Structure formats: structure tokens, C-alpha cells
Structure 1
């Protein structure tokens, strides 16, 4: 009994169906979609309970300030919390000199106009430290898909040029391997030297008229690579 099924395409190539292997690449620069800052709220007192109450009050004020920016806030998370005794260096026995309390918050924003104002207002709070911003793309950003598509088109174009150089043409794709698309300034990573950073303040006096920081978003680099293998028609080697 005979069948009409076609013979499988050779994966490793033959003289009648040579294989061409290429790598396609794409590199894009796009505007960031998120900005992340970290906020450290501190309190200090000679009494443990007083230090804890002060820290709770400051933390509540900071969270209320951040939440007041509404939809500009993508995410607000509380990280670590600590109350640490400071022991006196002199004298007999162990004696607590003071208690230090800290709460760490992480804030992600999508509105970069609000970012400059918020960081300034946060830094103007007493015993409050602000670090950042760190710019990033969303994990599902369309920029990653765009880079992958461009990498595939680049692979096809390279393979076609190799085939045409041999007076042949591409006949079939036998493998496409994704090597990943990633941002060089990855999510949560510190910015490169010289990139904009928000004001960092610790123990600053409170003010109400501090101007908003002018922050320039750091462009994000997106890189995609694919390995592709094609079968091409027999080349014409006799010129």
C-alpha cells in the first residue's frame, strides 16, 4: 500500500537540501513604564514603647501620603520592620541607651510627573529616607514582543541573504530557538552610574514648600536573540 505523505525535511541538511543556520538579533531603546523608590521611615527614643508609637505614627503618615496619589501608584508594599536597642558603651552591665525603629516601604509609580513631587514630599518628612528611582518595563511590556518579532525577521533576512549568495532560496524552517528578550536595566536593578536618582534624606527638617524634583526617565534597552535553521534549495556552485 502506498501513501501520499511527504518525506520528512532533513534536520541536518543534505547536498540536495543544505541547511543554513543563523542568529537573529534586535536591540531597542524604549521609554520606561515603571519607576520604583524605596522609603525608610525611622524613629528613635529612650523608651521602647515611645519609639514604637512614634514609628507607627510616622509610618501611617507616609502611607497616607503615598496613597493620596491614587492611580499614579502601581504598588505599595511594606518590607522589613525592626526595633533595635542601642546599648551604652560605658558602665557596668548592659544598659539600653536608646531604641531605633525602622520600616522599609517599596513604591512603584506609573506617573512620572507625580514621581518628582512625591519623592520630594517624602524626603521632607523628618527621619525619612528616600532612595531611587529605578526605572523598568513591565514583565509583559509590548516592547519585549516587538523585539522578538524583529529578531525573527532579522534571522529570516540573514538566512535569505546567505541563500541568495549561493543562487538558492529558502525552502523550509526546521528550528527556531528563543534565546530570550530582556532589559539591560532589569526590574529592580540599581541604575547605571550617572543616571537620575531621587533625593535621599535622613533626619531632614519638615517643610511644606519644597519644589518637586525634575527627574528624567532612563531609557530602557531591550535585547532579543533567536537561533534559526533553514533548509534551502540546492545551490548553484558553478558560475
Structure 2
């Protein structure tokens, strides 16, 4: 959209988009186990967690970051209470859940293709029974946004030139420029192999390109020809 104002300026919007291959991946896997008592559930979750971390470390992937980020234990109650009952429900066991975060940053697209599948295969084979799949992202989102911003400014210049020709006015130069709206999130994840459940994966995973966008609002001074 463009408009002519009383300040002798032309105001235009500019939009820019860059599509880049991701160079990083993130996933989280978890172990959910049940036991008759608190210690049994907690110990089983801890044992499986150590097994998963060891399996991922054996992959010997340079720069792979693996860490246990959280563990929780929840009591399991016996059914529903009778409406008139005031007694608390009887606890019949415990469920322990352990979450493991896996991150690989700053690698080639070929490495992402290969290692994403290996990471999930190793984790699920070692005892993980839940995963949110692989998500890909850019390790340098600011650089991607700056490239999109440059494209947005160039788009604004072209729009202003087109308006000047159509309106038979002469552009005198920039008056102001500002970003419009929220910054495009270069770390926005592209998902792949979502919700795999407890089934191991042997199929290849193809990382999709990530689109980073930017928008500007520019004002150009002009004079009548």
C-alpha cells in the first residue's frame, strides 16, 4: 500500500524473504515408567536415562549436546472414589518421567540428514518411549534476518520508483525507514518425523528450508516534475 501525504513524501511497505537450509537440529526424548513404589519407578527411569545418554554418546557425533533436563514422579491412584466417600484415593503405584534434550548446531545439511535419523534410532532403541520428533533451525538467526531486511528495503525502493513513474513525480531520497511488525524468527523450527511414539526409525529425514521474513515501512521525499 502506498500513499501521498501533506509532507511531500511517498510512503511504501517493503517485504523481504530468504529461504535457508537449516544447520542445526533439536529433539527431546523421554522415558515413562511405572513402578509399585516410588523408589522402583525412580530407579527404573534413572537406569533407562543413563542407557539412552550412553547410546547417544557412543554415536560419537562431534558437537552433539545431550543432557537430562527434568525428571518427575507422579502417584497413580486407584480408580474413582465413591461420590459419598471422603477418604482419599488409594495410591497403587508411581509413574516416573525423565526428559532428555539433544541438540546439534552448526553442521552441514548432509550431516543433518544422516545424524537426525541416527539420534532417534539410538534413543528409541536404548529405551526412550516418547519423542517429539526432530526439529531443525538456524544457528545464526540474526544474520538470516538481516538478509531478509536487506531484501525488504530493496523491495521498498522498487515500489517507490514504480509509484514515482506512475505519478510523474521525482524522488529526492529517503526520509525515513523503520521495521514493521515483529522480527522474523530465524530460530523458528521446521518439524520432521513428528510424534514417532515408541517405534524406532530407520527412514531418512529430509530437513526443509526455513523461511525468514522481514518488513519495513519507508518514506521518500519527492517533488513535482
For Structure 1 versus Structure 2, the TM-score category normalised by the shorter chain is 0.7 to 0.9
TM-score, structure 1 as length reference: 0.74
Q: How does 1:20-59 map to 2 (within 5 A)?
A: 20-59=10-49
Measure, in 1, the Cα distance between the counterparts of 2:100 and 2:29: 5
Structure 1 residue 34 displacement after superposition: 2.4
Q: TM-score under structure 2 normalisation?
A: 0.78
Q: What is the aligned-residue RMSD (CA, Å)?
A: 2.9
Given the alignment, which residue of 72, 83, 90 partners 1:82? 72
Unaligned runs of 5+ in 2: 82-86, 106-110
Confirm or deny: 8 A CA contact 1:45 1:100 kept in the other structure. yes
> 1:169 is paired with a residue of what secondary structure?
strand
Deviation at 1:78, TM superposition (A): 3.7
User: Matches of 1:155 and 1:127 in 2, distance apart?
Assistant: 51
**Once the two structures are superposed, what CA deviation does each residue of 1:187-233 show, in whole Å capped at 9, x if it has no partner?**
35x74xxxx3156233x6xxxxx77330011221211110000102x
Alpha-carbon displacement from aligned partner over 1:113-151 (angstroms, at most 9, x marks no partner): 211111012122335212212222235353211111011
For residue 182 of structure 1, the aligned residue among 173, 181, 184 is 184
Q: Counterpart of 1:71? A: 62
- Contact 1:41 1:129 (8 Å CA) reproduced: yes
Q: CA deviation at 1:106?
A: 2.5
What stretches of structure 1 of length at least 5 have no aligned partner?
Answer: 1-11, 205-209
Deviation track 1:141-180 (CA, whole Å, cap 9, x = no partner) reads 5321111101111111211222233444321311101124
Tell me the distance in 2 between the aligned counterparts of 1:177 and 1:89: 60
More helix by percentage: 2
- Once residues 142 and 186 of structure 1 are traced to their aligned partners in structure 2, the CA distance between those partners, rounded to angstroms, is 11
How many residue pairs are counted as aligned between the two chains? Answer: 208
Deviation at 1:72, TM superposition (A): 4.4
Find the counterpart in structure 2 of residue 8 from structure 1: none
Structure having the higher Rg: 1
SS of equivalent residue, structure 1 residue 81: strand
User: Tell me, what secondary structure is at the counterpart of 2:204?
Assistant: coil
Q: Could you tell which deviates more after superposition, 149-158 or 31-40?
A: 31-40
C-alpha displacement at 1:21, in angstroms? Answer: 0.7
Change (3 A) 1:175 1:87: same
